[in-house]
Structure 1
Amino acid sequence: MSSADLLSAGRVASACLAACASALVYLVVKGYHARRTFYRLRQQGMPMPPWNPILGHLLAVPPVMKTLPEDTQQPDAFEALCKAHEKDNMDSVIYLDMWPFADPMMVVCSPVLAVQACQEHDLPKPPILHAFFNPLAGGDNLFTMNGPEWKRSRALFNSGFSAGYVLQQTAHIVDEAEVYVEILREHARRGDMFSLDDVTCWYTMDIIGAVTLDSRLQSQTWHNPLATAMRRQIRWHVLDNEWNLLVRWNPARPFVQWYNNWQMDKYISAELDKRYAEWKQDSSTASSRSIIHLALAGYMAQQQDRPLPARLDPAFKRWATIQIRLFLFAGHDSTSSTICYCFYLLQSHPEALAKLRAEHDAVFGTDLSATAQTLRSNPHLLNQLPYTTAVIKESLRLFPPASAMRGGLPGIFLADAHGNRYPTEGTNMWILHSAVQRNPRYWRDPLAFRPERWLVAPGHPLYPPKGGWRPFEHGPRNCLGQTLAMLDVKVTLVLVVREFEVRAVYDEWDALNAAKVKGRVKTVNGERAYQTQMGGAHPADGFPARVRVRRER
């Protein structure tokens, strides 16, 4: 080897050593600051599990995990830790030191503290959210933005989710729901066991595709590259419950994710170009308030009186593509889970199912073949379903599809009714919706399915506590699509529950997968359909189900 080669190799080795040393120094400094934060919090008497100055709270997690299914969602484990270590003279909150796996964390299980974090202080979204959302949306998006950029984007899309405009989308939802119903009929004819969660995800993807892109994806019955790439991206990205390191660190993942990104961006780019060309030829298309048209409307407004460019600005296309991808992910993922849990809870509460069917008969009549057309011609009838709304809200209370994350700030404290003040500086606040919504300090019969909670008057023992129901969050950062999500679920229940009996068949699934479940915990709070992380929170094992057509009317 020549001297030049030796010199070059030496430089490379020196650079590698320098990089390794820098990384080591960063980890040591970061770890020191994390441990110092918790040393101070412990000195202040803040609630937390037993703390080790070297390992933090890492030793507190394994005992809890032994009591839960291996694939349960992380909030279940942190809720259990909160219950085990919260103090009687303090509200439901603990601090967790999970470094190097996470930054200092404040786990909030109290509606009182959640209201302060998300509404009174409106604390910012923390940078940690980028790691989860960027592979799905493709970059900084409406969910992760803060400040003026978020306000401009939120204002641009608000009109597309107004109650009046969303109700006008009922016909689009019914179109996709009829395909879903026919798929359920086919499963009923075959009498097979299938994943209801999977079937429902494709269904809600088609709904949000129609609302977002103003076109039908038809992913329930055909291969759609956009929908397929999004669903595949979720499967390859969300690995919170994957313990197999060969799967978790699969070297193929970056390449698969790159291909998924390319597929999604290519599809949406073509749609943007198509809509832009239509707009230039006929400005009447501007009356649509689909997400893609609202994005283009913002772009057109920036052009003012200048001649329209031949092609869309690449920077705008990139921004619009990211926001559209976010809506596609968020708009289908949580709604599909909610639909599944409505079926699950109604199956196990036949009295509630009977009331629901009676309400639908009273509003839509008993001719099931006419229901879809009635919905198209008179969508306002959906506002006459108080018990249906109560069923959906109670399902969302027991099985919320997500939680909230906020970043702490210097000088900002959360305060409880006992006079305690909890510092937020240097922490990421994880508001666990499932824990807040099942907190026995605030809810009567917190684990019971009681739709009547949403029909009683204030002062009744079942009446929900202030700020206690948070599946769509509250305050300025509440879910933009909550009206659409509620409409999707209502339409689905109206068209499905009177025609079908939908049953979870976990006993059958467990028998077929005995080697996987033998000797393992497979329930959370007594529920076999516990939540597992698959994008948002979804029913365990894909919700194995059977469907049969009802013979009773």
Structure 2
Amino acid sequence: MKPLVSDNVIMTANRPIWKKLHSAIASAFLASHIRTQAGLTADETMLFRKRLQQLSKGSEVFSIEDEAAKLVFDIVRHIVFNFPPNAQTEGCSYLEGLKETIELFNAQLSKNPLIKLKATTRTEWVGKRVDISIAAKTCERFAALRSEIIVRSRKDPLSILDLLLRETVLQAGTEKGEKAVELPAGGLKLLLTKDFFSFIYMLLEKHLEIGQKLRKEHNAIFGRSLASGLEVLTESPIKLNDMEYTTAVIKESLRLFPVGFGVKEAPAG
């Protein structure tokens, strides 16, 4: 994963760096905090649903992976950076750049030296373009946090970026905000290395009986009405804990298609 997301990301770091990153962002992954994002996730998923309805009425083949990537990107972008989500409605150059980076990374595994050289050169250019854009936004947030009188606590973060910048802010700006830029930028790339939704949809299409069981569980917990289901989800996100069968489906899909399994090279020979 290092060529794609750099060394200083929790998935590739070790020892002191890993410990520091884990300590900084652990609170963002607590179940109590994740449940507070249920409303955001529901709103973005409704846009995704509307988009699929529009596409299904046409006769042209479309990529569900591309559409799912926009949904995942908007949710992750908001949670990680607290940037306004707009990839589903307006498109986003960040997303296109990150997708191209992943495609180019796979192209670098080619045995053709010309293709490999071209992909490597292009990867560096696209990577720098994405990192510069994210770095600019990160520095803006760093400046905004320094100007605030109260620094948000670890238990109540607005974003994972706030958690990563918190220590630097508390040190009264003795370090430059740019030093924290690489960490969230790499983390966003990591979260976008696999469009997991696509595999769940594929598996459900091949196993219709599983989809029926999923709907039965969803109807039992949230009701048959979409409006009432959204209301229950928003007001009582703790009910997500009752979705035992849905959780099992997600875990089994991850077992069959692990995150990051596509960016690897077979041993020589």
What TM-score do the two structures reach when normalised by structure 1?
Answer: 0.44
Contact kept? 1:138, 1:325, Cα under 8 Å: no
1:223 matched to 2:91? The reply is: yes
Residue 194 (structure 2) pairs with residue 328 (structure 1): no
- Structure 2 distance, partners of 1:276, 1:169, is 23
| RMSD of aligned Cα (Å) | 2.5
- Give the AA of the match of 1:275: R
| Corresponding position of 2:105 | 237
8 Å CA contact retained: 2:193, 2:260: no
Identity %: 26
AA aligned to 1:233 is T
Q: Contact 2:8 / 2:17 at 8 angstroms: preserved in 1?
A: no
Q: Which amino acid aligns with 1:232?
A: E
Shift of the alpha carbon at 1:238? 2.0
Give the Cα separation in 2 of the matches to 1:402 and 1:137.
12
Code of the aligned partner of 1:167: R
**Aligned residue runs from structure 1 range 286-435, under 5 A:** 286=152, 287-303=156-172, 308=173, 313=176, 316-318=177-179, 320-334=180-194, 336-337=195-196, 339-402=197-260
Greater share of helix:
2
In the alignment, which residue of structure 2 is the partner of 1:93? Answer: none
Residue 53 (structure 2) aligned to one of 185, 196, 200: 185
Q: Which residue of 2 aligns with 1:92?
A: none
Indicate if the aligned counterparts of 2:108 and 2:120 stay in contact, CA closer than 8 A. Answer: no
Task: Tell me how far apart the structure 1 counterparts of residues 6 and 254 of structure 2 sit (CA, whole Å).
Answer: 28
Post-superposition CA distance 1:72-115 (Å, at most 9, x none): xxxxxxxxxxxxxxxxxxxxxxxxxxxxxxxxxxxxxxxxxxxx
What SS does the aligned partner of 1:221 have?
coil
- Contact kept in structure 2, 1:333 and 1:536, CA below 8 Å: no
2: CA distance, partners of 1:376 / 1:143: 31
Tell me the distance in 1 between the aligned counterparts of 2:189 and 2:264: 10
- Which runs of 5 or more structure 1 residues have no equivalent in the other structure? 1-131, 404-532, 538-553
Deviations 1:426-455 (A, max 9, x none): xxxxxxxxxxxxxxxxxxxxxxxxxxxxxx
Q: Structure 2, unaligned stretches of length 5 or more?
A: none
Partner in structure 1 of residue 129 of structure 2: 263
Q: Is the contact made by 2:80 and 2:159 (CA closer than 8 Å) also made in structure 1?
A: yes
Mapped to 2, the partners of 1:265 and 1:330 lie a distance apart of 13
More strand by share: 1
Equivalent residues in 2 for 1:150-161, closer than 5 Å: 150-161=18-29
The change in CA–CA distance for 1:147 and 1:285 in structure 2 (over 3 A counts) is closer
Residue 361 (structure 1) shift: 0.7
- Corresponding letter in the other structure for 2:232: T
Q: 2:139 aligns with which of 262, 273, 282?
A: 273
Aligned partner of residue 178 in structure 1, secondary structure: helix
What are the residue-to-residue correspondences of 1:125-164 with 2, within 5 Å?
132-134=1-3, 136-164=4-32
Larger Rg: 1
SS at match of 1:207: helix
TM-score (norm 2): 0.86
Query: 1:285 and 1:298 mapped to 2: Cα distance?
Result: 10
Q: Distance in 2 between matches of 1:536 and 1:325?
A: 21
